Amino acid sequence: MSDKSSGIPGNSPQDDDDEVDLGISLQTIASIIDAARASDATEGDAAGEDAELDAEDAAKPDLTGENLESLIDELNEDEQAALMALAWVGRGDYEPDEWEEALNLARERNEADPAGYLMGMDLLGDLLAEGLAAFGIVVEEIER
């Protein structure tokens, strides 16, 4: 079980290769998780603690909803499908051993607006992080 907590892709119980083959790089997923969480925080703080948030964000790159949408739109169709499937695993719709089924459904759905679909999910960043955790990957340990 220590492999699950290590977050090192090569130690995943799913695959003996250097990485779990999710069809999208772990760094890309981590960037999208960061942007989604920042977007959620920005929306949640819009009514209250703007001054504190503004001071914190001044030192960070733009991680707003527009940046999140741009990150998702820049992905190819297979990567977008992988992101959808990973969110579904994180939400509990699929188990890691049903990855191919989830991925195939995401490809079949071929959303006209994948960014809009994904951004419409509540707590997208957390869903994606939970999806990675299901594969034994800790998002906080992925190099950015």
Over the stretch 2-45, which tens digit does the pLDDT of each residue have? Answer: 343 333 333 333 444 445 689 999 999 999 999 999 988 776 55
**What is the per-residue pLDDT for 144?**
82
Q: Domain map of the chain by residue range?
A: 2-11+18-141
Q: What is the pLDDT of residue 16?
A: 47
CB 127 within 8 A of CB 90: yes
pLDDT at 107: 93
Predicted local distance difference test score (pLDDT) of residue 39: 87
- Output the pLDDT for position 53: 47
Quote the pLDDT of residue 4: 38
Token pair of 115 as six digits: 């960014």
Instruction: Using the predicted structure, report yes or no on whether residue 56 has a pLDDT greater than 50.
Output: no
pLDDT, tens digit, 9 for 90 and up, residues 90-131: 999 999 999 999 999 999 987 788 999 999 999 999 999 999
pTM summary value:
0.74
* Tokens 């977050």, residue located: 7
Q: Are 88 and 102 in contact (CB under 8 A)?
A: yes
- CA torsion 109-76-120-137 (nearest 10°) is 100
pLDDT band at 75 (very low <50, low <70, confident <90, very high): very high
Residue 49 has pLDDT above 80, yes or no: no
pLDDT of residue 41: 77
Q: Report the pLDDT value the prediction gives residue 30, as an integer from 0 to 100.
A: 96
